[in-house]
Amino acid sequence: MNAFPEARAQVVVEGALDEDLGGFPGLDVTSSATIPATQSSTAHVVARADGVLAGTPLISLVFRAVTERIRSREVDVQLFRQDGEVVHKGDVIAMLAGSTRAMLVGERTMLNLVSRLSGVATHTRAWAEVLQGSGAMVLDTRKTTPGLRALEKYAVRCGGGTNKRMGLHDVAMIKDNHKLAAGSLSAAFEAVRLASPAVDIQVEVTTTAEAIEAVAVGARFLMCDNMSVDLLRQTVEAVRGTGQKVEIEATGGLTLDVARAYADTGVDFLSVGGLTHSSPILDLALDLVDDRT
């Protein structure tokens, strides 16, 4: 189930409006001067490019928050498309009806958020399609926009990807610096297991020997970092040969061009920070409709 993180979205919306309007309740100096408080309009949210939608519940959340701030009449939102759907240039995603001033006050906040999340979903869908049939899934990372993690990870799910850990609190991830600080891989693993016995532990490895060492001390999820395709295939075969049920992830510097080759090594996952840190937005627009005809 891909539940939209509404509580977190409300916090994000209020912060974004504070940023744009100069605090609470704030002021749009242009719209307040040029648009009568009683004026009403119809508008369309339109796709200006092909892509995958994510974040459409934010449309209602933004305009509800705006109308409460400026004490205008409501903006009714009718959605024509849903998160996870493919849209094409020119498609109308939603129709708005209500306060013209509220629409223009909230326009950029809404577009910033929905365009950003739809861009993440669109990028993720490209990875999911390349990996289709391989048995491997694409994972996101913690390389998210500060404050937007829950929303960006939701967008990854809309695009057909899978979430890894949400933060430092829910999964232990032993990397090179932890091994150095603790003295060894095994020392780091035992320290985490002793401190947090109920938490899953993932271990980053860079060689086949290190992967086998990690499995021997009890690791059941390996992150194979910056390995070549040949080294990764060798490592997967060696780990499978131990007879232990171990999930294996390829990570580090992966691109769409090589995604299938890495998936075909037999890994379970490909971890891609670029899903959230480097996705271009999906171009969306809000267009007022001329009701005079």
Examine the domain organization and report whether 90 and 207 are in the same domain: no
Nearest alpha carbon to residue 289 among 106, 37, 98: 98
Could you give the angle at the alpha carbon of 192 between the alpha carbons of 187 and 198, nearest 5°?
Answer: 145
Residue 284 covered by a domain: yes
- Pairwise CA distance, residues 239 & 258, whole Å: 22
Q: Which amino acid is at 31?
A: S
Which is the catalytic residue, given 91, 140, 152, 225? 225
**Residue 273 pLDDT greater than 70, yes or no:** yes
Examine the domain organization and report whether 91 and 146 are in the same domain: no
Q: Is 108 a catalytic residue?
A: yes
Which is the catalytic residue, given 28, 83, 91, 204? 204
Average pLDDT over residues 265-274: 98
Which is the catalytic residue, given 175, 193, 220, 260? 175
For 199-236, the pLDDT digits (tens) are 999 999 999 999 999 999 999 999 999 999 999 999 99
Q: Is 143 a catalytic residue?
A: yes
* pLDDT tier for residue 291 given thresholds of 50, 70 and 90: low
Query: For residue 242, what are the domain limits?
Result: 129-277
**Residue 253 pLDDT greater than 80, yes or no:** yes
Examine the domain organization and report whether 104 and 159 are in the same domain: no
Q: Which amino acid is at 254?
A: L
Examine the domain organization and report whether 10 and 110 are in the same domain: yes
Examine the domain organization and report whether 152 and 266 are in the same domain: yes
Share of the chain above pLDDT 70, in %: 99
Residue 69 covered by a domain: yes
Q: What is the pLDDT of residue 290?
A: 75
Q: What is the pLDDT of residue 293?
A: 39
Q: What is the pLDDT of residue 1?
A: 62
Examine the domain organization and report whether 255 and 147 are in the same domain: yes
For 144-196, the pLDDT digits (tens) are 999 999 999 999 999 999 999 999 999 999 999 999 999 999 999 999 999 99
**Residue 24 pLDDT greater than 80, yes or no:** yes
Examine the domain organization and report whether 87 and 146 are in the same domain: no
Q: How many domains does the chain have?
A: 2
Examine the domain organization and report whether 116 and 138 are in the same domain: no
Which is the catalytic residue, given 48, 143, 233, 260? 143
Q: Is 240 a catalytic residue?
A: no
Residue 1 covered by a domain: no
Which is the catalytic residue, given 64, 108, 193, 220? 108
Task: Please report, for the domain that includes residue 161, its CATH number.
Answer: 3.20.20.70
Examine the domain organization and report whether 164 and 78 are in the same domain: no
Examine the domain organization and report whether 177 and 267 are in the same domain: yes
Residue 21 covered by a domain: yes
For 98-142, the pLDDT digits (tens) are 999 999 999 999 999 999 999 999 999 999 999 999 999 999 999
Task: Please report, for the domain that includes residue 112, its CATH number.
Answer: 3.90.1170.20
